[in-house]
Structure 1
Amino acid sequence: MALKDIISYVEEIMALNHSSASALVVIKDNKIVVEHYGGYHSNSVGSKPITESSKFNVASARKSYLGLAVAFALYEKKIKSLDDYAVNYFDYYDKELLANTTIRHLVTHSHGLHQKEDGTVYREFDAGKGWAYRGINIIMMTELIKKLYGVSFPELLRERVFLPLGLCETAWYTNPNDELVKVIENPDEDADLLIGTTNNGSEPNLHTTAREFALWGNLHLNEGYMKGKQIVPKEVIQLATKVQSPKYEDKNTPRNGLFWYVQDTPALKSEIGERVPKGSYQILGITGPTLLVIPQHNLVVAKMYNKQYNYGGDNYLYYLREFSNIVAVTFN
């Protein structure tokens, strides 16, 4: 399969899912080998074309940024161990509710906690005994980084990573500008900007260009070494991107690093395809961004869309795995 087939696939899913925008950046051996932009900033008439400066909302892919902040906290012993009990860090949550929940459970979606619309936190299953993609653990870890460092995790990353790496277009936006890509929720209605009221990382308003999204992946691929220097300690990247999940009885349960999905033994409930080599890792968001890192091939792939909900309905995991399989076969 040729590189043009990956571009064709990206464009095909864009059309099928009623996204108005697409972008694809592939970095191989630390060089950009594919850079493709298609569509428009919105589904409204007269919207501007997508270019290299277009900034996409990455939704839940922002968890990979939080994950790196958690890795810093572990490396610097502000969090002593992933197996520390959460009650030692969260004194404003019910201790009986947290029970045997550890930091490891919180960062691998195995915590078993959920939150009602009124803010009430409750338990779905015993910590470590299952896997569920919820939001309460993100809230908790965002609060914890602020407590440990005295600054929000976006501030921490800006000083330690974004500025040294030269990521000047990656930010949690609170004001509109012409470079932000709008998000489509209903194809029959005009798209809207998903900006927030704060830039402290507590809201899903992180935007970045496809290039900078790919560079974020390349920083991890190179274990923190970029621009001729060690920007992030190697051990910090390793903490974030190796399997940290507890042992599950169900072998088809996804495995995670610090929020990243990590390829271990291929699992049917994982978003990573079975042809992707072990040790690869991926993050994605509900608006369509996907960042796939395959160390075995020295490869990073960043894919962007602007449509709420990934294509495929209840079968969306099939299409997520299919894309990563296509990438793995192409660069094998």
Structure 2
Amino acid sequence: MDQEVTQPYRQGVDDLISWVEDIKEKNGSSAAVLYILKDNQVVMEHYSGKHSHEKNARYVRADSQFNVASARKSYLALAISIALYDKNIHTLDDPILKYMPELDTNLVKDVTIRHLVTHSHGLDVNVHGHLFQEFKPGTDWAYRNIGIDIMTELLHRIYGKGFPQLLEERVFSKIGLKETGWKTNADERLVNIIGEKDEPPLSGLGTSNDGKEKNLFVTPREFALWGQLHLERGRVNGKQVVPAEVIEMCTSVQNEEYRNASLPDNGLFWFVQGIPRLSSELGERVPRGSYQILGVTGPTLLVLPSLKVVVVKMYNKRYNYGGKNYLYYLKEFSNKVSDLFC
């Protein structure tokens, strides 16, 4: 199901839809969505496929909610930035031991909040559940979930509640988000996760809604509104809902300078376009100041502030990036979007 697109974007949007559908078929996703905002207006809504490969699965609709997997980090990021704004976290350069002294001092003595939110902390957990250090904090980059876990726990301690509850009070309720939530119960609107095409689909549900599990489900339109909130620097319908400084913290480059110039730049978890980086998820033609977040099942939120564009791409298949050379496909999509609106 597609919404009619007016010129001058018709041909370019058609090409993007074809690209999205090709990846869907190539990787075995049962569902795909492309949703585009330009100047805070919907340019395109494209919904295709079903909630799973099962015969009687529900067709994807505007109210279908996708598990956004690791893209939930953008929500955690906003909560961390709120904690910084509230001075409950003093600065990004505070050592994590200041807040969690029970951690192994020998391993984390040089790890700061900045390292944890930019994937440069150097920590990981082995198969036995023991923490170890891969590299000196701030010198290298590695995507590891332990940083997410630590920051999630820290916010819970600071506010006495999960960060989803903090966001509900401070953001969601104020801008009317009703199709965004950490789900623990089955609902026909929730899109299943595909592991392998010939295996039963996964529900993606969690056991709690405190943000400690990967059970955040969002409709494409509310994912786009989330991006628009950031693009507008916290303003919605002319009202400043989130302080502009909070958004700026999340979406500007926050990592230290790496010795390896190919490593990606990050805000608070977001991939941010400073100087184009070889290992970044953002293509070289993406305008400076743009930013993106994505999850393992393929949900992608791309924000191009200089072009006033927000793009949502949704799939429901694990490792639905496009192929083994996944960075190429991620970069190619963002380049195609940039070319269309430049």
The bucket for the TM-score relative to the shorter chain is over 0.9
Distance 2:62 2:128 in 1: 41
User: In structure 2, what residue type is equivalent to 1:22?
Assistant: A
Partner of 1:157: 167
**Which consecutive residues of structure 1, in runs of 5 or more, have no partner in the other structure?**
none
CA RMSD of aligned residues (A): 0.9
Given that 2:23 and 2:322 are in contact with CA atoms closer than 8 Å, whether structure 1 keeps it comes out as: no
1:59 maps to 2:59: no
Distance 2:106 2:176 in 1: 45
**Which consecutive residues of structure 2, in runs of 5 or more, have no partner in the other structure?**
1-10
User: In structure 1, what residue type is equivalent to 2:123?
Assistant: L
1:267 maps to 2:277: yes
Partner of 1:132: 142
Deviation at 1:192, TM superposition (A): 1.4
Alignment TM-score, normalising by the size of structure 2? 0.96
Q: 1:66-107: per-residue Cα shift (whole Å, max 9, x none)?
A: 000000011111111111111111112111110211100000
User: Sequence identity of aligned pairs in percent?
Assistant: 55
Name the count of aligned residue pairs: 332
1:8 maps to 2:21: no
Of stretches 91-100 and 298-307 in structure 1, the one that deviates more from structure 2 is 91-100
User: In structure 1, what residue type is equivalent to 2:83?
Assistant: A
**One of 318, 339, 342 as aligned partner of 1:329:** 339
Given that 2:29 and 2:320 are in contact with CA atoms closer than 8 Å, whether structure 1 keeps it comes out as: no
Distance 1:43 1:92 in 2: 46
**One of 40, 62, 74 as aligned partner of 1:30:** 40
Distance 1:166 1:120 in 2: 41
Distance 1:99 1:91 in 2: 10
Distance 1:298 1:227 in 2: 15
Distance 2:102 2:190 in 1: 37
Partner of 1:46: 56
Deviation at 1:36, TM superposition (A): 0.7
Deviation at 1:314, TM superposition (A): 3.1
Partner of 1:188: 198
Task: Flag the 1:312–1:10 CA change in 2: closer, same or farther, 3 A.
Answer: closer
Alignment TM-score, normalising by the size of structure 1? 0.98
Deviation at 1:313, TM superposition (A): 3.8
Deviation at 1:310, TM superposition (A): 2.7
User: In structure 2, what residue type is equivalent to 1:252?
Assistant: S
Deviation at 1:129, TM superposition (A): 1.0
User: In structure 1, what residue type is equivalent to 2:57?
Assistant: S
User: In structure 2, what residue type is equivalent to 1:54?
Assistant: S
Aligned pairs (5 A) from 1:1-332: 2-332=12-342
Q: 1:132-183: per-residue Cα shift (whole Å, max 9, x none)?
A: 0001010000001111111110000011111111110100000111000001
Given that 1:254 and 1:261 are in contact with CA atoms closer than 8 Å, whether structure 2 keeps it comes out as: yes
SS of the aligned residue for 1:310 comes to coil
Given that 1:219 and 1:225 are in contact with CA atoms closer than 8 Å, whether structure 2 keeps it comes out as: yes
Deviation at 1:227, TM superposition (A): 2.2
Stretches of 4+ aligned residues off by more than 6 angstroms: none
Deviation at 1:191, TM superposition (A): 1.4
Partner of 2:4: none
Q: 1:214-247: per-residue Cα shift (whole Å, max 9, x none)?
A: 0000000000000221110000000000000111
Distance 1:5 1:163 in 2: 37
User: In structure 1, what residue type is equivalent to 2:196?
Assistant: N
Distance 1:104 1:126 in 2: 14
